[in-house]
Amino acid sequence: MNPEQEEMKVTEEDMQATAVHDEHSNEADNDASASEACSGTQTAGEGNRADESNPLHTELQQAKEQAEEHYQRYLRTQADFDNFRRRTMKEKEDLAKYASAKVVTELLPVLDNFERALATGQEASETDSFVKGVDMIFRQIQQVMEQEGVQPMNAVGEPFNPEYHQAIMQVESDEYEEGIVVEEVQKGYMLKDKVLRPAMVKVSG
């Protein structure tokens, strides 16, 4: 074997040795990377378990659940309130719309009697029966009003009171002292404790 062949043989052996060394180095690096990855994964898992066992994490989770429960309860309460408000408004509208239904129903028989009285007055020659019929109807109306709490005022002889009386004239009077109602031009009415219509009166001056 000549010197050139020996040199080439040595060079090939060196290259093979270098390749083997590099292969072992790559395997070692891969093993180290895999080991680090496993170690990182294990550390993350341990961290999650540590967070779950942390009292602060438990309290935070409970607080979130309570907040959600309170929010749902608020939504239900709001919905109930909206339904109640709509129902109350509807009841008020119906009350205002049909508030006079009871009184009108009670006055219908009075209207019937008026029609009968007018028919009788046109046919009868005597006026006494007609007057009695009208008087009966008037008393019937008074009865309906009293049942509803409507009462006439007694103004004559009472001191003038602007809350109950509407003065239309001041007159001289020997019977009453100054500031006393001497005559009632139009009767006033009370609805229980409220003035339904003030009395139109003349007052002594």
- In this predicted model, what pLDDT tens digit does every residue of 113-150 receive, in sequence order? 877 777 766 665 567 777 788 888 888 888 888 888 88
DSSP assignment of the chain: --HHHHHHHHHHHHHHHHHHHHHHHHHHHHHHHHHHHHHHHHHHHHHHHHHHT-HHHHHHHHHHHHHHHHHHHHHHHHHHHHHHHHHHHHHHHHHHHSTTHHHHHHHHHHHHHHHHHHHHHHH-S-SHHHHHHHHHHHHHHHHHHHHTTEEE---TTSBP-TTTEEEEEEE--SSS-TTBEEEEEE--EEETTEEEEPEEEEEE-
Most confident of 64-68, 99-103, 134-138: 64-68
What integer pLDDT is reported at residue 118 of this predicted model? 74
**Residue 19: alpha-carbon gap to chain centroid:** 87
pTM for the complete prediction?
Answer: 0.50
Q: Which helix (H) or strand (E) holds 183?
A: strand 181-186
Question: 21 by DSSP, 3-state: which?
Answer: helix
Nearest to 187 by CA among 168, 201, 169, 170: 201
Bridge partner list, 191: 150, 194
Selected residue with higher pLDDT from 116 and 195 = 195
What integer pLDDT is reported at residue 148 of this predicted model? 84
The rounded mean pLDDT for the chain is 77
- In this predicted model, what pLDDT tens digit does every residue of 12-43 receive, in sequence order? 555 554 544 455 455 545 554 545 544 545 45
Q: In the predicted model, what is the mean pLDDT of residues 164-178?
A: 93
Residue 7 has pLDDT above 90, yes or no: no
Residue 5 has pLDDT above 90, yes or no: no
Residue 2 has pLDDT above 70, yes or no: no
